[in-house]
Structure 1
Amino acid sequence: MKNILIIDDEVNVATLLSKFLTRNGFHVTTASTGSGAFEYLKNNTYNLVLCDFRLEDTDGREILKKIRSEYPQTGVIIITGYSDIKMAVELIKMGAYDYITKPLYPDEILTTINKAIETQQALMDTPPETPETPEVRERKKSIASNDFVVGSSRASKELVHQIELVAPTNYSVIIIGESGTGKESVAKSIHMNSNRRDKPFIAMDCGSLTKELAGSEFFGHEKGSFTGALGTKIGHFELANGGTLFLDEVANLSYDIQAALLRTVQERKVRRIGGTKEIDLDVRIIVATNENLQDAIRNGKFREDLYHRFNEFGINLPPLRERGKDILLLADHFLELANEELGRNVTSFSPEVIESLLNYRWPGNIRELKNVIRRAALLTEGTEVQTKALPLEISSYNKTQTYEGFTIQNQQSAPVTPATPRNDLKNAAMEAEYETILRVLREVNFNKTKAAEILNIDRKTLYNKMKANNLDK
């Protein structure tokens, strides 16, 4: 039986938590003060501590510091109100496993506790690591950047671990994930943590290439090699020489171009179109796709031999809806970026906005979250983002009810009210275009080829409209 210590000066909350966890097979002890809690810790071993952030004689920060120092085998989860979420995020960086916000949801509590205990047990079973060198610390620091935010969820920690493993090698990597999950950001992190970090990182969007232009973009061409070749062009393989070439939406490449790619990848040489000289290559290749390449192979749309050349190491990116509290970490990060971009000082989210962000399913993943936060920052007049700054489909979050002292959710959305009419036809048309494109992209999981077909426009027009509406970020 796993032992849990609850530290909370609200007797009713501590009692309800104790009864609930006892019914679910845990041995529970409660303490109302920090000093009382450490008396228990001196004489007993606990798998996990649930600690309210605000206590009469101390706070969660001090409790965490002492437990991490004196009882490192014990995991810590912080219980906090919405107003303390920024502090809770800081506590996670200090070593807390996670935080739970009030009101408390039984399913969330149980899931978080089980994952915390499982993680803590795995850490105890792992042999001690050698002390980190300054180089290792610098490499880990470089994983977190404006492009890639290190989250606190289990999925995010596993992703960081995979990046750390594969980055120092020269393995080719396939990154698989839904559109908007940050595949290019992960590719950049791999590059920046490799010994190629001082060399070029060249990204290519294979989905935007026509069959006619693909060869020139990949391999380059010599002047006069075909009609319109008015000068010599250096291809992306040459541009990335010594560094990393990132191929996004690789499943959209034509079969002919795949054959040419296979030769280049195998021989590590490239020859410009119309040229005679072969150029030696030292390029690491990272590819990304939101499609199942095994299905594409079975359907004759993707070469199996090329797949195996790319698939020396695979990374599966979790969708944002499976990353839990990472949503708030990312939202906070994007809010800071939006403040810099707009010259604003929006510092926080209202409790209602936080609940909406956590409840929403995010079909467009991190890209959608970033765009939502940028627009919210633009629409916010004060320092706190309010519900009215969110799109209606996000702000209409589920209502709640109380059960045995805990709050649980009902699948009932708030009514949708009509938008305020606009008198400016140009703005109204732009807004309608934005909403239509975003809706279709969500419906097809951001597959641009399918979206262009549904919208009855070509891919180039779709890309231009996405860029104009900031949907390509």
Structure 2
Amino acid sequence: MPKILVVDDDKDICLLMHRFLTKNGYEVETAISGLAGLKKLADYKPDLLLSDFKLGDIDGTEVLQKAKEMMPDLPVIIITGYSDIKVAINVMKMGAFDYVTKPLFPDEILLNIRKALKTGEDAPVKSSSGKTRPVKAEKENYIFGNSSISKKLMKQVNLVAPTNFSVIIYGESGAGKEAIAKTIHQKSKRKNGPFVAMDCGAISKELAGSELFGHEKGSFTGAINQKIGHFELADGGTLFLDEVANLSYDVQVSLLRVVQEQKLKRIGGNKEIDIDVRILVASNERLPEAIAQGKFREDLYHRFNEFSLDVPSLKERGNDIFEFAEYFLEETNKDLEKEVKGFSEEVQQHFKKYPWPGNIRELRNVVKRATLLTEGEFIEEGSLPFEIVNHEKLLFVEEDKEPEVKADRRLHGQLKSAAYEAEYEMIMEALKKVNFSKSKAAELLNIDRKTLYNKMKKMNM
């Protein structure tokens, strides 16, 4: 039984963690101070250390340092506050296995512990078809398939990763652009540095500059504290800018200067700060098209376009879908402690016919959900989401055939198209499940936010 030492100056946290981890099959000891934790570490010799960063006597940095001196191979997970992201990056540089932020979520902690206690890399595994399927090593973030298009992508990633080139990664939503970026980082000379990701499509134009470059206290209304930007957080490592075409033109001007000179000034500051950052960007639209539309600077594009990658959609990857599905099944079996063996013939046919608009992300979510619902040895049709089993009946109506929709969509009898009505009901059901949060509903439906907004607008929702 693996042994875990929990160090936290909050007695309630120690008690809760002791109960939770013991229930999940671990032997647990606790300590309510850093020094007490280090003393117990020497006697208890745990397999993993879980320590809060802010302790009453010494901080998590010293606990981590001393623990590594005593037990160099001990995996350490640090608990930090949400605002302590720079602290988190520093402890990772010092050798922490990972960090979790407050508020604490039991499932997240359990998943990190299980990952930390794994040793070695996974070997290739035979699939039910008898072929060797790809298995992600513990430090890999992207699963490469065996199709020719997947092998070409893997070859390109391995080629560009050791360089310091900036890379543009193109691909549909859910195809794995960020996972590709992480894999490039982990295969690079910067792998021991931080990997910092920013979703440019999720940040308002007003805040994008502050998020990228940071700001000084009092530099604008609401700037009550100094803020460290993503560039500084990524110093010595890799900065990944997802949906980079969404940045405003003004921010692009400032970004170009930072990329060219590897220096920045925080908003409201006068001091120039030297940075050493490799930049990877991603977009689901071609940047030359954004340039033609006046949305993206051509000079910035050429700075980024030292190398480009196209991440194929799942429907382009042929039988890779079954290899990925079996990998996700194995992954979910471990997380849920289940022993589901595979997929029924009906399920395999549905997987083959379904267009997978959410790509690999959607496939992973479907397999996780189906595994959770499965009580037998194989995943059956009844465990699949409604839209996969009935996708041929729910094909979206083409633009030129779209019926005129009246304001009150809840009057089903007014709808001229059964498919349109079904789509409306799916969206409304998803919205209700997440208390009408559009971002969460989009995630549940495996579509991006913009697509959901456009559909709701057309439906007068």
* Alignment TM-score > 0.5, same fold: yes
Structure 1 counterpart of 2:349, which letter? E
Query: Could you say which residue in structure 2 is the equivalent of 1:262?
Result: 256
Q: Which has the higher contact order (CA 8 A, sep 6+)?
A: 1
User: Does the Cα contact within 8 Å between 2:190 and 2:236 map onto a contact in 1?
Assistant: yes
CA distance in 2: counterparts of 1:381 and 1:144, whole angstroms: 28
What is the Cα deviation at residue 143 of structure 1?
7.2
CA distance in 2: counterparts of 1:143 and 1:166, whole angstroms: 19
What is the Cα deviation at residue 248 of structure 1?
0.4
| 1:41-75 Cα distance to aligned partner (Å, 9 max, x none) | xxxxxxxxxxxxxxxxxxxxxxxxxxxxxxxxxxx
CA-based RMSD of the aligned residues comes to 3.2
Structure 2 counterpart of 1:278, which letter? E
Query: 2:356 pairs with 351, 362, 366, which one?
Result: 362
Query: Could you say which residue in structure 2 is the equivalent of 1:219?
Result: 213
CA distance in 2: counterparts of 1:350 and 1:434, whole angstroms: 35
Trace 1:46-445 onto structure 2 (pairs within 5 A).
85-86=127-128, 88-90=130-132, 147-396=141-390, 429-430=432-433, 437-438=441-442
User: Does the Cα contact within 8 Å between 2:149 and 2:317 map onto a contact in 1?
Assistant: yes
User: Does the Cα contact within 8 Å between 2:139 and 2:186 map onto a contact in 1?
Assistant: no
What is the Cα deviation at residue 385 of structure 1?
0.4
| 1:422-454 Cα distance to aligned partner (Å, 9 max, x none) | xxx999931897999459966xxx442343344
Structure 1 counterpart of 2:433, which letter? M
What is the Cα deviation at residue 384 of structure 1?
1.1
What is the Cα deviation at residue 396 of structure 1?
4.8
Structure 1 counterpart of 2:182, which letter? K
CA distance in 1: counterparts of 2:351 and 2:360, whole angstroms: 12
CA distance in 1: counterparts of 2:137 and 2:262, whole angstroms: 28
User: Does the Cα contact within 8 Å between 2:205 and 2:248 map onto a contact in 1?
Assistant: yes
User: Does the Cα contact within 8 Å between 1:355 and 1:397 map onto a contact in 2?
Assistant: no
Report sequence identity in percent.
54
Q: 1:142 to 1:308 in 2, by over 3 A?
A: farther
Secondary structure of the 1:221 match is coil
Q: 1:239 to 1:434 in 2, by over 3 A?
A: closer
CA distance in 2: counterparts of 1:385 and 1:316, whole angstroms: 32
Structure 1 counterpart of 2:197, which letter? A
Larger radius of gyration between Structure 1 and Structure 2: 1
TM-score with structure 1 setting the length: 0.58
Secondary structure of the 2:279 match is strand
Structure 2: state its 5+ residue gaps: 1-125, 393-418, 423-427
Q: 1:313 to 1:253 in 2, by over 3 A?
A: same
What is the Cα deviation at residue 340 of structure 1?
3.0
Secondary structure of the 2:128 match is helix
TM-score with structure 2 setting the length: 0.60
CA distance in 1: counterparts of 2:328 and 2:437, whole angstroms: 20
User: Does the Cα contact within 8 Å between 2:162 and 2:188 map onto a contact in 1?
Assistant: yes
Structure 2 counterpart of 1:304, which letter? E
| Count of aligned pairs | 300
CA distance in 2: counterparts of 1:85 and 1:397, whole angstroms: 27
Structure 1: state its 5+ residue gaps: 1-83, 94-140, 399-415, 420-424, 458-473
Structure 2 counterpart of 1:451, which letter? L
